[in-house]
Structure 1
Amino acid sequence: MEHLTTLDASFLQAEDSDPHVSLAVGAVSIIEGPAPDYGDLAAAFAERAQGIPRCTQVLHTRPFDLAAPEWVDDPHFDIAHHLHHVALPYPGDKAELHAMIANIMERRLDRDRPLWECWIIEGLDGDRWATLMKIHHCIADGIATAQMLARLSDEGAGETFASDIRAAHDSGPSFLSLLRPRLNPLDWMNDVVRATFAATSAAEHAVVGAVELTARVLTAGEESSLNGSVTRMRRFSAAMVDLAVMKKVARNFDVTINDVALAAITSSYRAMLLDRGESPHALRTLVPVSMRSVDHFDVTDNRVSAMLPMLPVDEPDPVKQLQIVHRRLDRAKGSGQREGGSAVFAAAGNIPFALSAWTIRLITRLPQKSVTALATNVPGPRGPQRVLGRKVVEILPIPPIALHLRTGIAMLSYAGRFSFGITADYDSAPDVDALARGIEDAVARLAAIGRSQDRSARVEDDAK
């Protein structure tokens, strides 16, 4: 039996602390039509799900949290409990699709069954259809979820953009890895000394990062309509831009694609707050960071840490916003926040599970006012996918919201597209579509500024 880690189980405990939240993550694949026969789809998905252990396993919990929950095979597994077939009302455009997504995601998964669902959605305009995969966050983080979803496609889990991220090739300093056999005893002793210093330095870095994360969590932010209690109902919207445009902007301004995405989110949040009649102020934002190395892409669990940068929503100039985002993310990466967050959960795994579970439930019940937004970047498949021979043209990520965050944004790169999926509380964020449009506008604005700078540079070169 496999036990949940402390981090995996924390998503169950956070869900327990608020009856209005569901901590399931999801992704919608929009597929060229016409849709295949439902029976053929059900048979294909049933066969492919059998090859993914978590799809046929159920949680077994212990009374009073005396031990961590564990995954056990479901003796009564029935694919019919997990596959659902619906159709959009006419005209089947984005508004109807987004409303359907919100309605599906706001309901909690049944913990008496394997914690996933697949919804087949027909009736999209343009002779298209979609699948919505919904998986509890206790099963997997973004990269592991993307791998699971890819295994349900015709191609299976192939190459993804996840291989580009830092953690995929950076496992950090390892004491044992440096103690390789050496013929010269002096060389071996030198390795021991270097490994000892590397381990000490890494530990100090993690401690500094953990202290910084803790201080930021305990520091209340500015009052904002983006924080507060949420209802059970959700809204969903999405923005879509060309990945080539994102890459071009990143090259023009010597930043990363993630910097460009967060700057676009910054700009759109600024416009949203101004439209609400609020004074824009810097937003402390939860940015999950992968700790998953490339040799663990096929492991289904959560391997993430976090950074808490301040998005410069108070800055009106889009280029300055991008530059500030870049500097603050660089600083957060170098401060040890990533390592510190990981170390905290690693340490929590060494204390009795009941104590950590009760502590997390208590903490997540308290109203938090330090973090205002969530922005998570999930690397998707590099190449186009197909489902029963039909091409997947778009993939929309769906983040959950919890802990008094009224909006959450997930980003996903797939083939040549970069999508933003936005989940929001129904009552407090009726302007979620404007938030999505603002992101698209912000990327277009940065691209236009970059083109203008290119033209100016060429004119100067010609003049010389």
Structure 2
Amino acid sequence: MSRHVLKVNDSAWLYAESYRTPMQVAMLATFAVPEDRPDFVHDLVARWREVREYQPPFNYLLTMAPVPSWKELPPEKIDLDYHFRHSALPRPGSQRELGVLISRLHSAKLDRRYPLWECHLIEGQEDNQWSMYMKVHHSQIDGVGGIRLLKRMLSIDHDARDMLPPWAVGTRGPDQSGIPRKARPPALERDTISIGSVAGAGAAVVGSLGRTYTESLVGSGDQARAVPFRAPKTLFNGRIHTPRRFATQHYPIDRMRAVASATGGSLNDVFLSICGGSLRRYLADAGELPTEPLIANVPVSVRPGDQPGVGNAITFLYSSLGTDVADPIRRIRAIQESTRLGKERLPAVDGLAMDAYTAVLMAPFLSQSILGFGGRGRPASNVVISNVPGPMEPRYLDGSRLLELYPVSLLFNGQALNITGVSYDGEFNIGFTGCRDSIPSLQKIAVNAGEELEELEAALGL
């Protein structure tokens, strides 16, 4: 059996994990049941149960000694009935009932005695819909890698049939997208940040880290320049517990692009702005709004090419959310300036140099999680906000059309809220993952975000 040693950045997610802070990421994909096949989900479950072929990372078993490694298991050593599950809501199940089920499924830590993944097919939903919830450990996959796996798994062809399940596709299995390789557009990264190879990689990394942590210790003197461990303590930044809450929102992506165009910024700036406005409202209603702006930790993909891979290929920048500003236009201007400064700080390196930069950048807060100190002092940031580009065209699974796609993310002590957006087929879909005890009214944050988008549009005359 072959073994694969984990990178330092990947193994950190394993050491930071506890029963209260499972380090897993997931997606919730909702499909339309084909009108001419009312038993579609039942038939799909029966067919997929017969597929006993596994591709990485779905055939990887974790071994921690002597160093964290993945051991490839033969098919007969994998218990598919444990990993693949069929669920149903009381018909007709509402979005609220689906959210309650996802909250419960996402609260449970993956068992390390098995490969670290689960796939649930869920039927019984209103409007003749069904869903697939799939979770994988974050040491094996990041958001961009997960979306690229989804692209390989779902087809652009409505007539494609007998399609394989995710565990038979993985990173090495057949690409079922139906898109000729030469016709594929170049991979889009968050805000198209370009991380290229340059000479003097070590000096660039050291220089970026030196500026970041010098400003963290003494302050930058520039409120727009967000740095770790300068964020105010809020109710999102204490100790967390096991139960999760999950909420969703989605908007036509053209609405957000119109705002981006009117303000001369990016779609990601708009996303950060409506999140900042939503959190400002939530904290103000609770009488907990700090005078200092909240700071977001914004993951940035550095994965090359258009293929998924096992492990993470991300780094991070820090951005102000402008929560100290009431005016929505002034807020988005402050965010644009903050993200510009954050991008300037990223070293222009790739590969091992970028891995080293990320490892050192994240070491202080991951060390807090590993040692159990997270949530006790000043937070590195107040919230994680991520934006992952998804498929631009409709996708199908055996003729069943994908309608909506939502990310379900991880939390840790000191970070009780994660907001992640995924674009798909003209819609921008946002998943809000929160600690049930820390954020008892998570749905309010989701609703606030939609109202903040309306306020931005009104202020800009859109």
State the TM-score, normalized to the length of structure 2: 0.82
User: How has the CA–CA distance of structure 1 residues 349 and 67 changed in structure 2, closer, same or farther, with 3 Å as cutoff?
Assistant: farther
Bigger shift: residues 34-43 or 130-139:
34-43
Partner of 2:56: 53
Matching residue within 14, 17, 31 for 1:15:
17
- Once the two structures are TM-superposed, the CA of residue 365 in structure 1 deviates from its matched residue by 5.2
Instruction: Say whether the 8 Å CA contact 1:160–1:381 is kept in structure 2.
Output: no
Q: Deviations over 1:232-251 (max 9, x none)?
A: 11111011111111111111
In the TM superposition, residue 445 of structure 1 has moved relative to its aligned partner by 2.2
Superposed structure 1 runs of 4+ greater than 4 Å apart: 157-162, 166-169, 198-201, 212-218, 337-345, 347-350, 357-360, 363-366
1:278 to 285, 288, 304: 288
1:341–1:224 Cα change, 3 Å:
farther
Percent identity, please: 25
State the AA in 1 paired with 2:416.
R
Does residue 1:422 correspond to 2:428, yes or no?
no
Answering whether residue 294 of structure 2 is matched by residue 291 of structure 1, we say no
Distance 1:142 1:97 in 2: 22
Once the two structures are TM-superposed, the CA of residue 392 in structure 1 deviates from its matched residue by 0.5
Contact 2:28 2:134 in 1 (8 A): yes
C-alpha deviation, 1:302, in angstroms:
0.1
Q: Following the alignment from structure 1 to structure 2, what is the Cα–Cα distance between the partners of residues 448 and 80?
A: 52
* 2:140 is equivalent to residue 129 of structure 1: no
SS at match of 2:428: strand
Residue in structure 2 matched with residue 250 of structure 1 by the alignment: 260
Change (3 A) 1:45 1:422: farther
Q: CA deviation at 1:396?
A: 0.9
Instruction: Tell me the alpha carbon deviations over residues 105-163 of structure 1, each in whole angstroms, 9 at most, x when there is no partner.
Output: 00011111111111111111111111111111011111111122333324535699982
Aligned runs of 1:60-459 on 2, under 5 Å? 60-62=63-65, 66-74=66-74, 75-155=76-156, 156-157=176-177, 163-165=187-189, 170-175=194-199, 199=201, 202-203=204-205, 205-208=207-210, 210-211=212-213, 215=217, 219=229, 221-281=231-291, 282-294=293-305, 297-336=307-346, 343=353, 345-346=355-356, 361-362=370-371, 367-370=376-379, 371-452=381-462
The number of residue pairs the alignment matches comes to 418
**2:235 and 2:247 mapped to 1: Cα distance?**
19
Counterpart-to-counterpart distance in 1, 2:50 and 2:10: 25
- 1:389-418 CA distance string (max 9 Å, x none): 100110011111113211111111111110
**Does the 8 Å CA contact 1:208/1:340 hold for their aligned counterparts?**
no
Render the CA deviation track for 1:18-51: whole Å, top value 9, x for unaligned: x31111111111111245143433534764x836
* 8 Å CA contact retained: 1:208, 1:336: no
Give the residue type in structure 1 aligned to 2:119. C
Please say if residues 252 and 450 of structure 1, whose CA atoms lie closer than 8 Å, have aligned partners that are also in contact.
yes
Note closer, same or farther for the CA distance 1:199–1:25 as it changes in structure 2 (3 Å cut): closer
| Closer, same or farther: CA 388–347 of 1 in aligned 2, 3 Å | same
Structure with bigger helix share is: 1
Q: Which runs of 5+ in 1 are unaligned?
A: 176-197, 351-356, 453-464
- Contact 2:121–2:131 (Cα < 8 Å) also in 1: yes
Query: Are 1:31 and 2:31 an aligned pair?
Result: yes
CA RMSD of aligned residues (A): 3.1
Residues 35 and 96 of structure 1, relative CA distance in 2, 3 Å threshold? farther
Work out the CA distance in 1 between the residues paired with 2:227 and 2:254: 36
Alpha-carbon distance change, 9 to 315 in structure 1, aligned in 2, over 3 angstroms: same
Are the aligned partners of 2:233 and 2:382 in contact in 1 as well (CA < 8 Å)?
no
Taking the aligned partners of 2:244 and 2:190, their CA distance within structure 1 comes to: 33
Question: Which structure has the larger Rg?
Answer: 1
CA deviation map 1:414-462 (0-9, x unaligned): 111101101111122111111001111112222233335xxxxxxxxxx
**AA in 2 matched with 1:315:** V
The aligned residue for residue 187 of structure 1 is none
Contact 1:306-1:337 within 8 A present in 2 as well: no
Residues 198 and 348 in structure 2, CA contact (< 8 A), matched pair in contact too: no
Contact 1:29 1:396 in 2 (8 A): yes
Q: Is the 8 A contact 2:8 2:359 kept in 1?
A: yes
1:212-232 CA-partner distances (Å, limit 9, x unpaired) = 586477735323111111111
TM-score by length of 1: 0.81
Deviation at 1:377, TM superposition (A): 1.2
Q: In structure 2, do the counterparts of structure 1 residues 377 and 358 end up closer, same or farther at CA, with 3 Å as the change threshold?
A: closer
Aligned to 1:135, the other structure's residue is in SS state strand
Q: Structure 1 CA distance, aligned partners of 2:41 and 2:449? A: 37
The residue matched to 2:119 in structure 1 has which SS? strand
8 Å Cα contact 2:283/2:289 also seen in 1? yes
What is the alpha-carbon distance in structure 1 between the residues aligned to residue 68 and residue 425 of structure 2?
38
AA in 1 matched with 2:378:
K
Deviation at residue 170 of structure 1 after TM alignment: 3.2
Is the CA contact 1:213–1:341 (under 8 Å) kept in the aligned structure 2?
no
Shift of 1:8: 0.8
